[in-house]
């Protein structure tokens, strides 16, 4: 027979009991974490949101409670009445370890089936099992802590933006397509036969319209939906801090985000401090081989193409050659070098070359192609010291106006930085990336596409090149990067209707298509649109970094797998034929 909660009122969280609570009568509630039965004495670790408290049932003193405690199993739900006493020997492992509770009464509120895995941080169950039983998984301390941290960060962001005069305004979930470059999730309309809503890829158009509406400063912590191929740091639905301001200079937006990130970092006691540094996109690529450089370590790239030029024919390489200096790696074994070459090839390198710098001189298989002098020159040029290994990679141009060798070397840099333990995990290196091109070439569509989205502003001086040399148009966009992770991007927007119409044209949209897809927005732009700009940050990534986790799934209460499945709710799922009928939808056989 189960007991009822009745009029019992919890007095303390289990995990919150401290030595100062000794000699107090308490009522605790929670889950049976562990039970140890020593006959006369039964010990229960009782767990709640705050942690664990040890409860003691003494057969001699409280026979009835002790008898009931004999029936307890893992994850039973109970309420305990008792008295806090100091332990003879404190347990430093748990926060309440200086005290324990001598139980006078036990109320068993619910039973539990044997869980498929133990509710502990050291869990051996697969991620699949954990996600299927997410409610049990979330009882573990670490996921618990991550969700709490997420709440605290979100709360701090809201407070900060409220103080800065921003309004949180909701925008529709059932809407029409926003071009952020992914596929839409569509929702069929029952009322309007044959018509669909799209779930927002972002609130982009709505937030711009809020500026036209005179709201001046908008933000929203908002779900966005993008149907794209998933990776470890992507979810089909994810949470953004979305923000827009009227009459801003770029610097004003940066300052707002710097305040927000300072306060978010403050939640875990990290003292981030704006202004964050700025890096031009091209410079980031040239020096770090990435538009999201990890600045926690150096190891900058060196363009050594001229030094390799004489051997272009004998080495059979195409494109440019970039080198990095791996400190102390001259001693690497054959096997380590082979692995490195393997990695570089998988990153797209066509040729990988190594040069060892030792106190005796410079040695390399390249010597027969380049000669000893050239190798010495190279070591000097890249600043390699005895003990260092120079690693160079050549890669062929893949896309017009882009240097593939930089990206390849950038990946090698990260790989080596990790292998050589050069990345200081205690550092928080924020950087603003600016100076992006407005368009990038889309190989699939064989045309110029928006590098970001089509509402991104363009430098006025470049407007004349829109039609003639689109690749030279500079965008007013920017990215925020933290420790090599892109946290988000934004821009000063186009606020003139004529310019927006020209951009759509440059993107290959006919007047008709542009009107059909964005007519309402083009119209809105004609009614007195203020200059405006904004940004969106991926909050799942922010929390992941601050929580020190690797996967964003660890900081989302109910994440989906990399195949976009919710294993617990078992969605997506088939639906009732009657529902489809009502929507006028028929499922075709898969081809
Ligand atoms: N809408 C953009 C995005 O979701 C961000 C922005 O431009 O504000 O990436």
Question: Of 336, 335, 308, 338, nearest to 320 (Cα)?
Answer: 308
Please give the mean pLDDT across all residues of the chain.
95
Q: How confident is the model at residue 230 (pLDDT cuts 50, 70, 90)?
A: confident
Q: What is the pLDDT of residue 447?
A: 85
Strands (E), 38-160: 41-48, 51-58, 77-86, 99-110
pLDDT, tens digit, 9 for 90 and up, residues 372-402: 999 999 999 999 999 999 999 999 877 666 7
Q: How confident is the model at residue 315 (pLDDT cuts 50, 70, 90)?
A: confident
Residue list, ligand 1 pocket, CB within 6 Å: 180, 202, 204, 453, 489-491, 534-536
Which residue puts its alpha carbon closest to atom 8 of ligand 1?
Answer: 535
Exposed / middle / buried, residue 413 (Cβ in 10 Å: 0-12, 13-18, 19+): buried
∠ CA 331-335-340, rounded to 5°: 85
Tokens 């982009």 belong to 204
- Which tokens go with 224? 């966005």
Ligand 1 centroid from CA 217, angstroms: 15
In whole angstroms, what is the distance from residue 410 CA to residue 289 CA?
A: 4
**What is the rounded average pLDDT of the residues 78-89?**
97
Pocket test for ligand 1, best of 204, 221, 228 (most atoms within 8 A of CB): 204
**What is the rounded average pLDDT of the residues 118-127?**
90
In whole angstroms, what is the distance from residue 115 CA to residue 103 CA?
A: 26
Which residue puts its alpha carbon closest to atom 3 of ligand 1?
Answer: 536
Listed in sequence order, the DSSP H helices in 296-446 are: 305-308, 312-315, 334-346, 367-370, 372-382, 404-419
**% of the chain residues with pLDDT over 90:** 88
In the chain, what are the domains?
Answer: 14-110 (2.40.50.140), 297-419 (3.30.1360.30)
In whole angstroms, what is the distance from residue 101 CA to residue 81 CA?
A: 9
In whole angstroms, what is the distance from residue 495 CA to residue 529 CA?
A: 6
pLDDT, tens digit, 9 for 90 and up, residues 501-543: 999 999 989 999 999 999 999 999 999 999 999 999 999 999 9
Q: What is the pLDDT of residue 534?
A: 98
CB atoms within 10 A of CB 452: 21
Q: What is the pLDDT of residue 327?
A: 96
Which distant-in-sequence residues (6+ apart) come within 8 Å of 256 by Cβ?
A: 161, 164, 243, 245
Ligand 1 atom closest to Cα of residue 535: 8
Q: Which backbone phi and psi does 20 adopt, to 5 degrees?
A: -65, -15
**What is the rounded average pLDDT of the residues 250-279?**
97
Ligand 1 centroid from CA 321, angstroms: 34
In whole angstroms, what is the distance from residue 267 CA to residue 275 CA?
A: 19
Ligand 1 atom closest to Cα of residue 203: 1
């Amino acid at each position: 027979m189960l007991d009822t909660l009745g009029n019992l009122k919890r007095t303390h969280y289990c995990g919150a009991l401290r030595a100062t609570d000794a000699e107090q009568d308490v009522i605790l509630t929670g889950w049976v974490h562990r039970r140890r039965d020593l006959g006369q004495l039964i010990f229960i670790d009782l767990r709640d949101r705050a942690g664990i408290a040890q409860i003691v049932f003494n057969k001699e003193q409280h026979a009835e409670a002790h008898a009931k405690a004999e029936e307890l199993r893992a994850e039973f739900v109970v309420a305990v009445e008792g008295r806090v006493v100091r332990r003879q020997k404190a347990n430093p492992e748990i926060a309440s370890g200086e005290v324990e509770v001598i139980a006078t009464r036990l109320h068993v509120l619910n039973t539990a089936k044997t869980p498929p895995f133990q509710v502990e941080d050291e869990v051996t169950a697969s991620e699949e099992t954990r996600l299927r039983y997410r409610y049990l998984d979330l009882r573990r301390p670490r996921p618990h802590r991550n969700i709490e941290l997420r709440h605290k960060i979100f709360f701090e962001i809201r407070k900060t933006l409220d103080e800065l005069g921003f309004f949180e305004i909701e925008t529709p979930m059932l809407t029409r397509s926003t071009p952020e470059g992914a596929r839409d999730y569509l929702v069929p309309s029952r009322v309007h036969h044959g018509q669909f809503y799209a779930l927002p890829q972002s609130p982009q158009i709505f937030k711009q319209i809020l500026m036209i509406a005179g709201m001046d400063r908008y933000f929203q912590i908002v779900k966005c939906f993008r149907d794209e191929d998933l990776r470890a740091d992507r979810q089909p639905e994810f949470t953004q801090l979305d923000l827009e301001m009227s009459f801003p200079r770029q610097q004003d937006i940066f300052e707002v985000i710097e305040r927000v990130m300072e306060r978010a970092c403050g939640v875990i006691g990290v003292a981030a401090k704006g202004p964050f540094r700025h890096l031009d996109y091209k410079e980031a690529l040239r020096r770090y081989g990435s538009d999201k450089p990890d600045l926690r370590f150096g190891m900058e790239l060196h363009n050594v193409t001229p030094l390799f030029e004489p051997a272009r024919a004998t080495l059979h390489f195409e494109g440019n050659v970039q080198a990095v200096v791996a400190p102390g790696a001259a001693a690497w074994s054959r096997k380590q070098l082979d692995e490195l070459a393997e990695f570089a090839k998988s990153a797209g390198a066509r040729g990988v070359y190594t040069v060892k710098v030792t106190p005796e001189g410079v040695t390399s298989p390249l010597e027969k192609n380049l000669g000893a002098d050239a190798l010495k020159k190279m070591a000097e040029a890249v600043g390699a010291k005895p003990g260092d290994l120079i690693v160079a990679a050549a890669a062929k141009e893949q896309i017009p106006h882009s240097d593939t060798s930089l990206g390849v070397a950038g990946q090698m840099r990260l790989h080596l930085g990790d292998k050589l333990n050069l990345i200081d995990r205690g550092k928080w290196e924020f950087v603003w990336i600016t100076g992006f091109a407005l368009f990038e070439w889309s190989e699939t569509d064989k045309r110029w596409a928006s590098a970001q989205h089509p509402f991104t502003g363009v430098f006025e001086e470049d407007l004349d090149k829109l039609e003639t040399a689109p690749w030279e148009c500079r965008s007013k966009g920017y990215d925020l990067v933290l420790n090599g992770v892109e946290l988000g991007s934004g821009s000063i927007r186009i606020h003139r209707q004529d310019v927006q119409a020209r951009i759509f044209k440059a993107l290959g949209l006919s007047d008709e298509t542009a009107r059909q897809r964005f007519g309402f927005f083009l119209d809105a732009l004609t009614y007195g649109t203020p200059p405006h700009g904004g940004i969106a940050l991926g909050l799942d990534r922010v929390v992941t970094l601050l929580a020190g986790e690797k996967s964003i799934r660890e900081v989302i209460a109910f994440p989906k797998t990399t195949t976009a499945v919710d294993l617990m709710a078992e969605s997506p799922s088939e639906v009732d034929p009657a529902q489809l009928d009502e929507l006028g939808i028929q499922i075709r056989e898969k081809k």
